[in-house]
Structure 1
Amino acid sequence: MIPYIDEALQRWAEAQASEADCTSNMGNSVIASLMASQGVLNRAARGSRVLVNRVTEIGWILSKHLSPEQRQVVIEQYCSNLPQREKWVACGCSRAQFYRRLGQAHRAIESQLLKRAV
């Protein structure tokens, strides 16, 4: 796995979870976000090197550039609270295949981020 991509995907999953909380409570708007964060504008998560706009790019890449199998593995790995063994079962693959797909997804995301940076 690629450490920077791993961190970016963790931030993406956190954003997905907080967005779900925000939309269930107050709607999806800037005002709702500021209310949820008590007026603090958070441009990056806890000193992370991954900026918020990068999180949006990650979401776009996941939806447009990954195979369904790779997307499923990423979602299970970063958004699910299941034990690892249950994540493999949910994806319908072995442990080795799960991590192979996850590595492929990391490389595909890195490639797309590099293309978009140019």
Structure 2
Amino acid sequence: MIKPIDEMLKLWAEEMHDPGVAGGGYAGGNLLAMMMANKGEMIRGTRGSRVLLDRVGELDLIVNGLPEQQKEVVTEHYLNRDSEPAQKYRHCRCSRNTFYLRLHVAHQTIQARLMRRVA
């Protein structure tokens, strides 16, 4: 795993998909709905997030654009907090090693796409 990407994805999971907020985080992860609810104002995450909402939204777009196997592993790893690791592997229909290999490749893909956006 790539540690900075791992931390960003943990914050993404908290900010965009918080199970403690009705309907998920910020209007179910929809930035437009969140802006409408806040009368057009962008508001930082309530947990003192180091990643601003625009960065979290950008990361959400990148995750949703990942190849299906990578997206499945990322969402299972970061959003399915209640499952045991073996359940996560079974859900993704792969072994432990394959699961973490796909997760690492997803981290590399996300890092490359973030770097491309910055350039």
2:85 and 2:103 map into 1 onto residues whose CA distance is: 13
Unaligned runs of 5+ in 2: none
Unaligned runs of 5+ in 1: 35-40
| 1:56-77, Cα deviation, whole Å (9 max, x unpaired) | 111111122x210000000000
CA deviation after TM superposition for structure 1 residue 101, in Å: 0.1
Q: 1:53 to 1:19 in 2, by over 3 A?
A: farther
Matches within 5 A, 1:37-116: 42-44=43-45, 46-64=47-65, 66-80=66-80, 81-116=82-117
1:19 and 1:3 map into 2 onto residues whose CA distance is: 30
Q: 1:84 to 1:112 in 2, by over 3 A?
A: same
Q: Which of structures 1 and 2 has the larger relative contact order (alpha carbons within 8 angstroms, sep 6+)?
A: 1
Are 2:7 and 1:20 aligned? no
Q: Which has the higher helix share?
A: 1
Instruction: Between 86-95 and 1-10, report the one with greater CA deviation.
Output: 1-10
Note the aligned Cα RMSD (angstroms): 2.4
Q: 1:23 to 1:93 in 2, by over 3 A?
A: same
Q: Which amino acid aligns with 1:63?
A: N
Report the number of matched residues. 108
Q: Secondary structure at the match of 2:23?
A: helix
| 1:12-43, Cα deviation, whole Å (9 max, x unpaired) | 1112234734648xxx4447469xxxxxx752
2:92 and 2:52 map into 1 onto residues whose CA distance is: 29
Output the TM-score relative to the length of structure 2. 0.77
Output the TM-score relative to the length of structure 1. 0.78
